[in-house]
Amino acid sequence: MRKPRSRATRGAPTLADVAARAGVSPATASRVLHQSTRRVGQQHRERVLRAARELDYRPDLSAQAIARGTAPVLALLVSSIDDPYFSAIAEGVARSAQRHGVIVTIALTGRDTARELTSLRTILGQRPRAVLVGGSRTVGSPHADALVAELRTLADSGGRAVFIGRPADGLPAVRPANLGGARALGAAVAGLGYRRAVVVTGSGRLETVRERTDGLGRGLAANGGRIIAVESDAFDRGGGYRATRRLLRSGGLGAADVLCAGNDFMAVGAMTALRDGGLRPGHDIAVTGFNDIETAADVTPRLTTVHFPLAEIGARAAALALAPGPLHGEDVLVPGLVRVRDSCPDRSAGRPHDPPPPG
């Protein structure tokens, strides 16, 4: 009598194997395991899932992509994941994707538009169900039109494309309300008695940088303040440190009473540079950030910033991309909330706003 072949001998279990063990048709097993929209009775569903576990069945994503046109994959393009801003968004994306029964693949673009386009084309070759494009778009990028064209082709062929940032070409987006949040921050800072702001931020080619700097200026101006200088560098901690060191060497901070960083990561670097230059953040000069990453309330002094629910933004973008039904050009703006902390003590009732005129 021949001994039955072990699973290792006969290869990986197939959908037919699962169906046979569960006592159902292959079509029923497929509906359960491939998240079909057709309903399967609870009893049959439990039998199929139990058989799949016992056989250690793994769906063939490539076969699904060929059969259905897409794989159960959500692709996320972000600048980096060592930046707490993007890691928080990615966490929200992953949480939402899990609820929808898909896996997440992440491509890191480093704010390089050519790399972003190349990554997108590679990902599209894997037939993902949806693509999320995170990170600030770059003004004047030579690759912008090609990127949008690839996403439009995906959308027109039944896939889904959503920006986590400003929308383009009628494609939907979920994004923080950068302009409104920055305007509220500027108004709050001026209301605390600060009138002369130096901005330390990323490249002016980044749309996020433009929105935040513009909003900050508007909020300050509405309450008698102004931006007296803008120093740009990389949109990260190192950039905040280097930009602030340059301002210290050039005397650019001499007339300022508040340093406004383009994001919290830059603010942390700026505060280190201030200390290295003999200044006390929150005492000799106020400091603000943007985004309210987890460490903003843990640094010393605690950082005044604009809070955005970053994980929620990621989750909402993923849910929009994976929801059934038609997807139109929604532009979901998520408002921010100013959180005033120790780095901006209230001086509105104390020292004068401006130095006395000469003579």
For range 121-136, the mean pLDDT: 90
Question: Could you say which architecture CATH assigns to the domain 178-308?
Answer: 3-Layer(aba) Sandwich (3.40)
- Bridge-partner residues for 104, per DSSP? 74
Asked if pLDDT for residue 142 goes beyond 60, the answer is yes
CATH superfamily of 68-175+310-334: Response regulator (3.40.50.2300)
More confident position, 359 or 319:
319
- What pLDDT is recorded for position 208? 95
Judge whether 68-175+310-334 and 178-308 match in fold: yes
> pLDDT averaged over the chain?
88
Whether the pLDDT of residue 127 is over 90: the answer is: no
pLDDT of residue 59: 65
User: Rounded to 10 degrees, what is the CA torsion of 228, 233, 234, 236?
Assistant: -50
Every domain of the chain and the residues it spans:
12-59, 68-175+310-334, 178-308
Give the per-residue pLDDT at 349.
65
Architecture of domain 12-59: Orthogonal Bundle (1.10)
Biggest CA-to-CA distance, the chain: 112
Strand partners, 260: 199, 288
Q: Residue range 240-265: average pLDDT?
A: 97
Q: Is the pLDDT at 357 greater than 80, yes or no?
A: no
Query: What pLDDT does residue 358 have?
Result: 36
Percent share of the chain, pLDDT over 90: 65
Q: For 38-82, write each residue's pLDDT tens digit.
A: 677 888 888 888 888 888 877 655 555 444 556 889 999 999 888
Which residue in 156, 74, 136 sits closest to 321, CA to CA? Answer: 74
CA nearest 172: which of 148, 144, 189? 148
Element (DSSP H or E) covering residue 322: helix 310-322
Query: Which residue has better confidence, 246 or 32?
Result: 246
Please state the pTM of the whole predicted model.
0.78
Residue 269: φ, ψ to 5°? -65, -40
